[in-house]
Structure 1
Amino acid sequence: FEELIKTVAVESKLVPNDYFVQNVVDTQDLLDIRHCIFIIGTSGNNKSTTWTTLCKVWTRGGERGKTIYRDINPKSITPNELYGFINLATREWKDGLLSFTMRELANMPDTNPKWIILDGDLDANWIENMNSVMDDNRLLTLASNERIRLLTHMRLIFEIRDLAYASPATVTRAGILFISERMQWKNYVQSWIDKYTEEEPFQVKAEPKAARKAKLEELFAKYCEPVLLELRMNYKHMIPNLLDFGLVQGLCNFLQDLLVVDNVGVNGAEHFEIYFVLACVWAFGGAMSITSGVDYRKKFSQYWKDTWKTVKFPHRGEVFDCFVDKTKHEFSAWTDIVPEIAFDSASTPMGQVTV
């Protein structure tokens, strides 16, 4: 079973490390004994990837049959739109998204696995109405007095951030899988590196993929973890709600546009670091500003110059004031390429000058 998980993960361009495989196995174990489960974790922690991988594994394995799922975000609609309501003017019943989906899946003639995914933070406005579905009754009771049963081959999967707004009655009705952050960004980085080296943006006679891959892995290991730790320690109030995963994802997006043949050349692994540093500066420090009288942009610039000395910046100005000179493969200040303008106020009225 674990080997099938790894095969499906590789086909989906994922990194099937032991922790990810164990999460998929744990999800299956919970679904075997509970008809309702909570998958808990922060954004970017592979919650969706865990259950979608299991869905593909069950379909590929063939023993359980093709797995069908419906993905709903309950926070994007009102409780009436989720469960349905009676129009007071016409006394007609209007189906909700969840009631329609449950009825649709329940009426399918086969007994293949069917999942309803509720992807959104728990909210007392809608979750309390689910208690009768989550307990042993497995019944969704609607305002129209219709009762829809969650059949034995159907499951409810809640994909949520935390249980802050869940009552004890709700929590005790479900199986719980917690997915830790646990350096999940490293999986994303490895997947991005594999994809980047496979896309082969270089010419046929370029250096081996292994050399570029090894260099990128070395740079991510060198810079990412220490800089992310520095941000958590001294800049948390500057970017309080941004997760490590989001910052690293932004870094990879920068690298995708910077590590091209025009910048690094055909055999460009030796020039990767300067562009990697440029991407780091803007991905990790681009959101800095002056807050409460403290210039965090300047503080981050000084931290970078004091800590990372392999790639040197000009002494004057901040790290944000530089660009990579392609001819020298070193940083230069933008002011070096801006020509001086001589302005004669005696011959040109100020009102005719546009800056």
Structure 2
Amino acid sequence: YAMIGEISLFSFGFLDGRTLARKIVATYKLCSEQLSSQDHYDYGMRAVKSVLTAAGNLKRRYPDEDEMIIMLRGIIDVNLPKFLTQDLALFQGIVSDLFPGVTLPTPDYKDLHQALSEAYNHFNLQNDEIFLTKTLQVYEMVNVRHGLMVVGYSYAGKSQALASLSRGLTSLSATHLEKKTHLFCMNPKSITMGQLYGQNDMSGEWTDGILSKIFRTCANDPSDDRKWLVLDGPVDAIWIENMNTVLDDNKKLCLVNGDMISMSNAMNMVFEVQDLAVASPATVSRCGMIYMQPESLGWRPLVKSWYNKLPERLQGSSCARALFDALFEWLVDPTLEFTRKECTRTMSPVNDPTIIGGMLRLLGTFMEQVATPRDIEEGENEQDLQMWIEGYFLFCLLWSAGAIIDYKSRIKFDKWLRAEIGQGDKDKKKKDVAMPHKFLVQWPEKRTLYDYVFDQEENKFMDWMDTIPEYKVNSDSAYHEIIVPTTDTIRYSFLLERCAKNFLPLMFIGTTGTGKSILVKDMFLNKIDRECFVPIFLQFSAQTSANQTQDIIDSRLEKRRKGVFGPPIGKHGLIFVDDTSMPELEEYGAQPPIELLRQWLDYGGWYERKKDNVE
């Protein structure tokens, strides 16, 4: 490696190539020995080659700069984005030992910072230092590598970083500081291999796939606009191996019919993946890596963005904002820690921002009615507002962090939360501790917290059974049609109706025979307004394919205009997917029907398989 590096560096115009090449090899050797072992770490020849390329580009741009600084900048630009938080300090130590006394000048991204700030405001994102750093790392990686992978779990900000960067670069194109950027997004697992890359039809005629059509269009586009092909889905050997010729120095997409499409210099292949557990080393070594951790962002940026969506009356109320701040800071972290350590979660894996994101969506559905003023004296109105915010906050905290734990854990959580907010049987530790906030709303003590709902009219928590009229069985009903209301059916129906009316996706998790399907079907058939909603039922089985799923949903929709389908005008579609986890796992664990639904939830559409248009 040192010999190859030395020759390459001399060819780029470096004078001290031998020393620098040895430093590159030493860096990777120490990294492989000292840092943690991750699927997306690669210290092979391709990694060395990418550092050499980055250093060569920097040398051409700054021919008079100190060579040590150029090499250190190249090593950091290529490697720093892929390391986990716990490995960063070790990497910084290795680099400082190999390059003693070398300090890097801060790059001037003043215009890009301003453009990104405007993009964050447009997407209602927070200009968080960690998020900004990761966005800039994507920008630097795009300039160095034509193929890159943004790796990390949900809520790490992968999609938003790409969208914000794309918008920021496009806004800079007006002043000719950057180039306009176009994003082409798809989920490669939501369609078959033939529909992705192209295939011969029954008559033997070649039909381009969705990816090959977009790739061909971008390659033939004479403009110098940036074009990013974003493949947002699991990476596995079934489809990614065909990309190897694109990702290496050939930069050509080879199709089954013998076509070879060359990639233009304005194009980049971007992969958004959760992990690279089943990706081959050949693929990993060909791509630049940016690793994003949800834990490093945390849940606080989500809350700040949520504040911007509140009704104006609540946004203008300093009392409401201060109360929300106090409740979030006091209760969220201890609740997440308790459910993580002391309880058994039924959903796995799930991270903290995902839970709080669900809580904020549910809490947002109550804010319109909280913001509606009452015709009473000002002092009482403020007290009422405090009680409403407290009640709904506790209710939504319970049905987010406390909703994904099993029954035994719920009993533990009930006792813990009561003690934490200073209600019920306080444990000895809590007696002497001053509470950050004293609740006006009190939870009744007869039953568990899960048996009560906050009632805004009464300003108190009420038993679920008290919220419905007395049930009488209709004498004409068939036996199998009778659903006797219980606490369980009432509360889950309430949450389902709340989410359906506010267009929030909802997932019921439970073992067989707990009444999930009956509950949803009863709601869809008997309780929703048929003038506003069109129910669509899907039953998944082991043999369900993504194409079947797409065809069933499309068949129930009408064509509004070119590329746009929807339910009849004036109505909303409600889709119920039964047995969501049933589709058979592929060789590497992907489930295409679920990936199709995820693409729809993320991007609001899918590709029409006949004409390659986005619906």
Q: What residue number does 1:84 align with?
A: 198
For residues 187-235 of structure 1, the C-alpha deviation after alignment (integer angstroms, 9 at most, x for no partner) is 1111001221xx31x4xxx894333222212211111111111111123
Q: What residue number does 2:306 align with?
A: 192
The separation in 1 between residues aligned to 2:315 and 2:213, in whole angstroms, is: 56
The separation in 1 between residues aligned to 2:445 and 2:133, in whole angstroms, is: 50
Q: TM-score, normalised by structure 2?
A: 0.51
Q: Are residues 255 and 264 of structure 1, via their aligned partners in 2, closer, same or farther at CA, if it must alter by over 3 Å? A: farther
1:127-206 maps to which residues of 2 (within 5 A)? 127-181=240-294, 182-196=296-310, 199-200=311-312, 202=313
SS at match of 2:446: coil
Q: Shift in Å at residue 325 of structure 1?
A: 4.8
The separation in 1 between residues aligned to 2:113 and 2:178, in whole angstroms, is: 16
What is the aligned length? 333
For residues 89-119 of structure 1, the C-alpha deviation after alignment (integer angstroms, 9 at most, x for no partner) is 4221121111111001111121111110011
Q: Are residues 340 and 83 of structure 1, via their aligned partners in 2, closer, same or farther at CA, if it must alter by over 3 Å? A: closer
Q: Shift in Å at residue 327 of structure 1?
A: 6.0
Q: Shift in Å at residue 151 of structure 1?
A: 0.7
Q: What residue number does 1:299 align with?
A: 412
Q: What residue number does 1:321 align with?
A: 451
For the 8 Å contact 2:199–2:207, the answer to whether it is kept is yes
Q: Are residues 102 and 318 of structure 1, via their aligned partners in 2, closer, same or farther at CA, if it must alter by over 3 Å? A: same
SS at match of 2:115: helix
The separation in 2 between residues aligned to 1:101 and 1:80, in whole angstroms, is: 15
- 2:119 is aligned with 1:2: no
SS at match of 2:179: coil
For the 8 Å contact 1:325–1:331, the answer to whether it is kept is yes
For the 8 Å contact 1:313–1:331, the answer to whether it is kept is yes
For the 8 Å contact 2:115–2:169, the answer to whether it is kept is no
303-312 vs 145-154, greater mean Cα deviation: 303-312
- 2:178 is aligned with 1:64: yes
For residues 143-181 of structure 1, the C-alpha deviation after alignment (integer angstroms, 9 at most, x for no partner) is 111000111111000011111111111111111001111
264-273 vs 231-240, greater mean Cα deviation: 264-273
Question: What are the ranges of 5 or more consecutive residues in structure 1 without an aligned counterpart?
Answer: 342-353
The separation in 2 between residues aligned to 1:48 and 1:335, in whole angstroms, is: 43
- CA-atom RMSD, angstroms? 2.6
The separation in 1 between residues aligned to 2:365 and 2:259, in whole angstroms, is: 55
Q: What residue number does 2:222 align with?
A: 109
Q: What residue number does 2:490 align with?
A: none
SS at match of 1:213: helix
SS at match of 1:38: strand
Q: Are residues 152 and 269 of structure 1, via their aligned partners in 2, closer, same or farther at CA, if it must alter by over 3 Å? A: same
For the 8 Å contact 1:139–1:150, the answer to whether it is kept is yes
- 2:139 is aligned with 1:28: yes
Q: Equivalent of 1:274, from 391, 398, 418?
A: 391
267-276 vs 171-180, greater mean Cα deviation: 267-276
The separation in 2 between residues aligned to 1:300 and 1:233, in whole angstroms, is: 11
The separation in 1 between residues aligned to 2:288 and 2:369, in whole angstroms, is: 50
The separation in 2 between residues aligned to 1:263 and 1:8, in whole angstroms, is: 29
Q: Equivalent of 2:236, from 111, 123, 129?
A: 123
Q: Shift in Å at residue 3 of structure 1?
A: 2.4
SS at match of 1:13: coil
For the 8 Å contact 2:345–2:404, the answer to whether it is kept is no
For residues 261-290 of structure 1, the C-alpha deviation after alignment (integer angstroms, 9 at most, x for no partner) is 458855455222222111111222234444
Q: TM-score, normalised by structure 1?
A: 0.86
SS at match of 1:132: helix
Q: What residue number does 2:187 align with?
A: 73
Q: What residue number does 1:345 align with?
A: none
Q: Shift in Å at residue 338 of structure 1?
A: 8.1
Q: Equivalent of 2:154, from 43, 54, 66?
A: 43
Q: Shift in Å at residue 247 of structure 1?
A: 1.6
AA partner of residue 44 (structure 1): Y
Q: What residue number does 1:226 align with?
A: 334
AA partner of residue 187 (structure 1): P
Q: Equivalent of 1:286, from 395, 403, 413?
A: 403
Q: What residue number does 1:212 align with?
A: 320
The separation in 2 between residues aligned to 1:207 and 1:191, in whole angstroms, is: 12
For the 8 Å contact 1:247–1:284, the answer to whether it is kept is yes
Relative contact order (C-alpha < 8 Å, sep 6+): which is higher? 1
Q: Are residues 316 and 58 of structure 1, via their aligned partners in 2, closer, same or farther at CA, if it must alter by over 3 Å? A: same
The separation in 2 between residues aligned to 1:337 and 1:155, in whole angstroms, is: 56
